[in-house]
Structure 1
């Protein structure tokens, strides 16, 4: 855990909104992009560390889903929650041009554009959750309700 990390866009945006957060950094290898690795590395339970997935809905276009790292996104629930008939996860090559973030460093905060964002309802159970800080090896610990308000999100059941 180091505070010497360069400020990311996600951090600057939370600072601007006066939303408190804690930065936790960790070492990773290219093969360690799984969210469970991030959770283990920052010493947090899997259910409190959320990965950010970007999908394209057949009706609404791009949508963002945040779910616990050890869980799988239920595409039917995701489609229903986002008012689509179907959603398809974005291909990794389309992530950077769409969001401004790379795989393993995609944050729900500070994407190139504001997309409809849905956070798994289990986040409500915790005072703090972790989400990517906008680059690999950086997690932001934040209050889920404050995060939800900032991204104008909605709590929904998203996992299989």
Structure 2
């Protein structure tokens, strides 16, 4: 399936519009049964997996939430994330907790426009690309955006957090 620009407001796109950041939306078929949603999105978009980023929610020391944005073909380096966030451990947040915190359904969690704010970290590999794809706020909707502009505007921490 090829990339196709779409429209449709979500809290994520509303925040990007308010911020004045340029982005393009791309819809794709969402496969609820896919074991790796980010890789499935990359394939559906016809984009390199290292350019399609997944949004993951974690808990630092079991109490502090954080939002991590990593390439779809990589794994999150939980120990490094914990250390960068001043903690001893990091664990994946339960899907129901991630949905409650962000206001988005799993598979559609965007780093933009979350219900409650938490620290956001972007894997440094994103800066190797002029644009990256991140979730646009619903399943099957990707937002193509310049990672440098988003990180700068929203004050994201940029570091190597994927392995």
TM-score of the aligned structures, taking structure 1 as reference length: 0.94
> Is the 2:67–2:121 contact (alpha carbons within 8 Å) kept by the matching residues of 1?
yes
Q: Could you list the runs of 4 or more consecutive aligned residues of structure 1 that deviate by over 2 angstroms after TM superposition? A: none
Secondary structure, aligned partner of 2:96:
helix
1:151 to 154, 159, 162: 154
2:17 to 15, 18, 23: 15
> Is the 2:31–2:40 contact (alpha carbons within 8 Å) kept by the matching residues of 1?
no
Please provide the CA RMSD for this pair: 1.4
How many Å apart are 1:94 and its aligned residue? 1.1
How many Å apart are 1:60 and its aligned residue? 6.8
2:45 to 38, 42, 45: 42
Secondary structure, aligned partner of 2:127:
helix
Q: Deviations over 1:41-69 (max 9, x none)?
A: 11111111110001111187111110000
TM-score of the aligned structures, taking structure 2 as reference length: 0.92
Looking at structure 2, the residues matched to 76 and 110 of structure 1 have their Cα atoms a distance apart, in angstroms, of: 27
1:51 to 51, 54, 66: 54
Task: Determine if the alignment matches structure 1 residue 87 to structure 2 residue 101.
Answer: no
